[in-house]
Structure 1
Amino acid sequence: MMVPPAIHLGLEISVLAENEGSSARLAATRVGDYHDAATVLAFAQGVDAITFDHEHVPQSVLRALVDAGVAVHPSPEALFVAQDKLVMRQRLTDLGLPVPDWARLETPADLAAFLADHGGRAVVKTARGGYDGKGVRVVSDPSEVADWFAGLSDPSVDPESTGGALLAEELVEFRRELAQSVARRPSGEIVAWPVVESVQRDGVCAEVIAPAPSSAGRLADMAEDIARTIAAELGVTGVLAVELFETTDDRILINELAMRPHNTGHWSIDGSTTSQFEQHLRAVLDLPLGDTGTFEDWSVMINVLGGPTTGTLADRLPAAMADQPSAKIHDYGKDPRPGRKVGHVTVVGDDLDDVVFRARAAADHFLD
């Protein structure tokens, strides 16, 4: 999704795709394993900067790039905070930012003590690698994550992790989930998009409403201030998305961080003056950042999760286009699979109920 804005800006972009069947295959200039430093270093020859579309590139590879004189954005130091949830929680706590009550777990006894202090239920997360509901369990007994504790002593555990531990968090009672995206460039300029509401289904983002309804004023100011503080204090370069809880007792708590264009910002492709993908490129190259205003009062983005059980998204395009001509349809070129994000639909307009209806109607064409 960074390729179209790169073309519009006259930038030459190279893409390292992890396999021949990836959705980046149309733009890939090379296919290779991003875990292998030699492969990534060879790819980096002749480019001005390296950036990412996920946080899973090993620190050893990032350090090898930096040691070779390659500009890496975001930096390994900043990205590590997004890669490891225990590091993230500690760093945000040190900054005095609002996070759920949490603890580092090295043994089942640690979890038993945390459960006793938090009403008998808690959220347990793996420190590394989890996303879209993976690596997250709500538990009431240490036995429910016995397999994770057993894995901590396994010598195959990632040596770059926080030393074999899990993260426990209080089970937050929240009204809704929000996300605040900002972009920062190395010279320090930061811009923000409106805070959005994210609707989850089975741990996966299903819908996004921009801006979040009833968010003007204090809530929007708090969300933006949190994201700006994180971007500045961690020295983030590029887009930063901060996932948030709006709690039932009127608090705003940080859930997760993503240091790259994020699913909750996809609406900006069709709904904002500057999309998160163009903004990320501007930031990485330390170019002046673009305006983040919106074209209409509302933008609604619906993820196509799973896709059709017969045929492809492309087969359904004509009917969806005819039924909802105002919808912007994005097909990722991925094979359908239960729960997988294979595309999204965005509709913008001045009446929220109408926009939600049209976006859902368009997305429904791609499901059985």
Structure 2
Amino acid sequence: DHVVGDYLNPEQVLAFAKSCDVLTFEHELIPNSIIKVLEENGIAVRPNSSAFIYSQNKAEMRKVLQENNLPSPKWELYTGAKPTEISFPLIAKSISGGYDGRGVWVVGSESELAEILKIQPRLLLEEKLKFTTEIAVMVARSPHGQAATWPPTLTIQRDGICIQTITPAPDLSDTLKVSAQEIALKIADVIGLVGVMAVELFVVDDQLVVNELAARPHNSGHWSIEGSVTSQFEQHLRAILDLPLGDTSMRAEFAVMGNVLGGAKTDMYRPYLHLFARTPYLKVHQYRKEVRAGRKVGHVTAIGNNLTTLESEVSHAVNYMNGVVDE
């Protein structure tokens, strides 16, 4: 069975939730106030409103990280006055609602900041870090506190959108890999996470800094469908149902995932046929979304032991599906 309704309508959401044993989320856009209504009516919501708020509200996220001595950039809330802790250029972020580069601005002056304030009255300001690498760690935690992580993933961005991931992150020292997983586990414990969460981090001068949190299955963990013994999706279900968590070991030395963004091609069926014939070990996922420029409409994954070959084949597949190459 399926139910069609408005996730912004508390009555419709509550009516649906009453037929469920456990309720969970696909994205962060459902108002936290609606989650609290569900909880007040005895619905098991996982992650709960107290944990989910840190994915929905960047200011609350920064506060809890700071209170628990977790690595963060300098930050402050923008009130319209001159920033006191951060110098220009800086990063301005919507406190809620931004994703895939939306709601994030690089700001070079007070006048630029004032213009952004006209369209987004609630801003979080952060120092502009000189990072060398962006990584993500997927972590899962059950109601009883069992937790597990996957290996850190390198995320390659273009215009604020992830275009490719490589797991485990190449050229990341063993020390930083362990540290990244420890940070993810600590955050999961501190906020009382139930389910899976992506912890996005910057590597700055051989140190880690937390960028953002996403308390749900995440694009940076899609590689795990083929690349891990237990995918992030299975693990999320295990966690919210309080089942023993699964093995997060990799099935091969490397897993490379490339995001397919909307481009010139609207027909995604014929590219399937070509790619299946050309590279049989590729796994192609289509989200059946309306194709729009820059929108994530699918992804391609390859696992194996030769990283150079995997990167080449995934990049070719993505470019073919996007219409950048025609063979």
TM-score, structure 1 as length reference = 0.85
Which deviates more, 207-216 or 279-288?
207-216
Q: Which runs of 5+ in 2 are unaligned?
A: none
Amino acid at match of 2:104: V
* Match of residue 98 from structure 1: 71
Amino acid at match of 1:126: S
* Match of residue 143 from structure 1: 111
* Match of residue 336 from structure 1: 291
Q: Report the secondary structure of 1:174's partner residue.
A: coil
* Match of residue 303 from structure 1: 259
Is 1:82 matched with 2:55?
yes
Contact 2:265 2:322 in 1 (8 A): no
> How far has the Cα of 1:175 moved from its partner?
0.7
Amino acid at match of 1:222: S
> How far has the Cα of 1:226 moved from its partner?
0.4
Q: Report the secondary structure of 1:315's partner residue.
A: helix
Name the CA distance, whole Å, in 2 between partners of 1:354 and 1:217. Answer: 24
> How far has the Cα of 1:147 moved from its partner?
4.3
> How far has the Cα of 1:149 moved from its partner?
2.2
5 Å-filtered alignment, 1:1-368, equals: 29-107=2-80, 109-111=81-83, 113-114=84-85, 117-118=86-87, 120-151=88-119, 165-247=122-204, 249-307=205-263, 309-368=264-323
Q: Report the secondary structure of 2:225's partner residue.
A: helix
**Where do 4+ consecutive residues of structure 1 move more than 4 Å?**
none
Name the CA distance, whole Å, in 1 between partners of 2:181 and 2:265. Answer: 43
Q: Report the secondary structure of 2:93's partner residue.
A: strand
* Match of residue 7 from structure 1: none
Deviation by residue 1:299-345 (Cα, 9 ceiling, x = unmatched): 000000114x2442122110111111110000000121111000000
> How far has the Cα of 1:364 moved from its partner?
2.1
> How far has the Cα of 1:31 moved from its partner?
1.6
* Match of residue 4 from structure 1: none
Amino acid at match of 1:226: I
> How far has the Cα of 1:214 moved from its partner?
2.3
Name the CA distance, whole Å, in 2 between partners of 1:241 and 1:200. Answer: 16
Contact 2:166 2:256 in 1 (8 A): yes
Amino acid at match of 1:56: L
Deviation by residue 1:336-365 (Cα, 9 ceiling, x = unmatched): 111100000000000110111111122222
Q: Number of paired residues? A: 323
Amino acid at match of 1:324: T
Which deviates more, 358-367 or 238-247?
358-367
Name the CA distance, whole Å, in 2 between partners of 1:137 and 1:292. Answer: 35
Which deviates more, 52-61 or 260-269?
52-61
Deviation by residue 1:76-119 (Cα, 9 ceiling, x = unmatched): 01111111111111110001000011111111x233x45xx52x
Q: Report the secondary structure of 1:30's partner residue.
A: coil
Amino acid at match of 2:24: T
Contact 2:176 2:207 in 1 (8 A): no
Amino acid at match of 1:110: K
Deviation by residue 1:147-176 (Cα, 9 ceiling, x = unmatched): 442356xxxxxxxxxxx6311111000111
Name the CA distance, whole Å, in 1 between partners of 2:158 and 2:265. Answer: 22
Name the CA distance, whole Å, in 2 between partners of 1:136 and 1:144. Answer: 13
The sequence identity of aligned pairs, in percent, is 44
Amino acid at match of 1:188: G
Q: Report the secondary structure of 2:322's partner residue.
A: coil
Contact 1:314 1:331 in 2 (8 A): no
> How far has the Cα of 1:143 moved from its partner?
2.5
Change (3 A) 1:57 1:311: closer
Deviation by residue 1:251-282 (Cα, 9 ceiling, x = unmatched): 10000000000100000001000000000001
Q: Which runs of 5+ in 1 are unaligned?
A: 1-13, 15-28, 153-163
Name the CA distance, whole Å, in 2 between partners of 1:358 and 1:366. Answer: 12
Contact 2:200 2:212 in 1 (8 A): yes
Amino acid at match of 2:253: D
Q: Report the secondary structure of 2:197's partner residue.
A: strand
Task: Please give the root-mean-square deviation of Cα atoms over the aligned residues, in Å.
Answer: 1.3
Q: Report the secondary structure of 1:42's partner residue.
A: helix
TM-score, structure 2 as length reference = 0.96
Contact 1:106 1:149 in 2 (8 A): no
> How far has the Cα of 1:216 moved from its partner?
4.7
